[in-house]
Structure 1
Amino acid sequence: MARALILIDFQLGMDSPLHGARNNPEAETNAARLLSRFRDRAAPLVHVQHLSTRRDSPLHPANGGTTIKPQVAPRDGETVFSKQTNSAFIGTPLEAHLRRLGVSGLVIAGLSTPQCISTSVRMAANLGFDTWLAHDACAAFENHARRDWHPDAPVLGAEALHMAEVSMLHGEFCRAMSTEAILEALA
């Protein structure tokens, strides 16, 4: 089975304090390990970059946060798609690109777990891709628990949000695996 690595939204703007505290500070390091393996094998890989249409977003092109982080930055010739929604598949040529390459399996990693990662994993499964989620190469932010939506809602930290989302995705939409388990499975 041809399997591609999809790295989503590992961008400088994700370090903005507007997002709040984050879990898993090792996400980029783990993603870099996956990226190295896919590069070594000359396996398909795609970088996905969010270009927000919201002027106040750290990921809006005018705000300087759209650059992909150095530890997972694309090299010359690597595929980079830009998106404006939570899904890496909507408004991008990602699906067509993967089909053209004969890819039937994916490894997904990136930021943030309950938003763009969850949406992209769900859509990948719905499109028929055998999807592995590198859960330790993803992270969530505390401000995803929008307390302003309902004042009586429980406050969930970044780790609780991350774990809840991974738990919901695993088995139904993907196989949640550690970076180490994915590297072993690819060996």
Structure 2
Amino acid sequence: MNISKLDNPALILIDIQKGFDNIQYWGGQRNNADAEQHASELLKLWRANNLPIFHIKHCSSNPTSLLNETNAGNEFKDIVKPIGEEPIIKKNVNSAFIGTNLKEQLDNANICKLVIVGLTTDHCVSTTTRMAGNFGYETFLVSDATATFNKKGIDGQNFSAELIHETALASLNDEFATVVTTKFIKENI
């Protein structure tokens, strides 16, 4: 798959919110410390080229969640904060397509290529990427602009954030999306 700015690809920034700064809350270990920086670089590139941008915000229905709208953690991280009229899509499930008008907005703008970045690789990024692929969008998932946390297995074993990240990417690549790097996107847009 190829991508260029002539394709008018949309940048989808998923759940890059302050609540994810509390690493202990989410599992105690995180990978890709530079994920937000890479996402910010792509956001600047999209803005400079006047390409479509969609900010996705997880608004948990759980009142004690760091991502609930009553919590400061619900706010976007400053490094990728929306400006001007950039659309903000609020969701309360893993997929940015369920219960939102994201697909309608993409289709109305005749967008057929997506570049996905954000948090977390194995949850909302994965679910949104899978649905994007199933809807027929040509989807690029940026491996170094996504991140996740370690997870406990069903038998209590600890799986590292990097292992969770890599296996999530492996299950998406060449089926639902093309997994690429920030450098690849920057060289092609």
TM range (shorter): over 0.9
Aligned to 1:37: 45
Mapping of residues 1-187 of structure 1, within 5 Å: 1-16=7-22, 17-19=24-26, 20-142=28-150, 145-147=151-153, 149-151=154-156, 154-186=157-189
Q: Distance in 1 between matches of 2:61 and 2:135?
A: 26
Letter in 1 for 2:10: A
Q: Distance in 2 between matches of 1:175 and 1:182?
A: 11
SS of 1:88 mapped into structure 2: coil
Show CA shifts across 1:37-88 (max 9, x none): 1101100010000000012211011222111001100002111110000001
Tell me the C-alpha RMSD between the 2 structures. 1.0
Q: Distance in 1 between matches of 2:129 and 2:64?
A: 27
| Count of aligned pairs | 181
**Residues 11 and 115, structure 2, Cα contact 8 Å, conserved in 1:** yes
- Which aligned segments of 4 or more residues in structure 1 are displaced greater than 4 angstroms? none
Letter in 2 for 1:41: N
Aligned to 2:3: none
Q: Distance in 2 between matches of 1:185 and 1:123?
A: 24
Aligned to 2:4: none
Q: Distance in 1 between matches of 2:131 and 2:168?
A: 15
SS of 2:38 mapped into structure 1: helix
SS of 2:128 mapped into structure 1: helix
Letter in 1 for 2:67: L
Which runs of 5 or more structure 2 residues have no equivalent in the other structure?
1-6
Show CA shifts across 1:70-125 (max 9, x none): 11000021111100000011011100000111100000000000000000000000
Calculate percent identity across the aligned residue pairs: 39
Q: Distance in 2 between matches of 1:76 and 1:100?
A: 20
Q: Distance in 2 between matches of 1:157 and 1:14?
A: 17
**Residues 15 and 58, structure 2, Cα contact 8 Å, conserved in 1:** yes
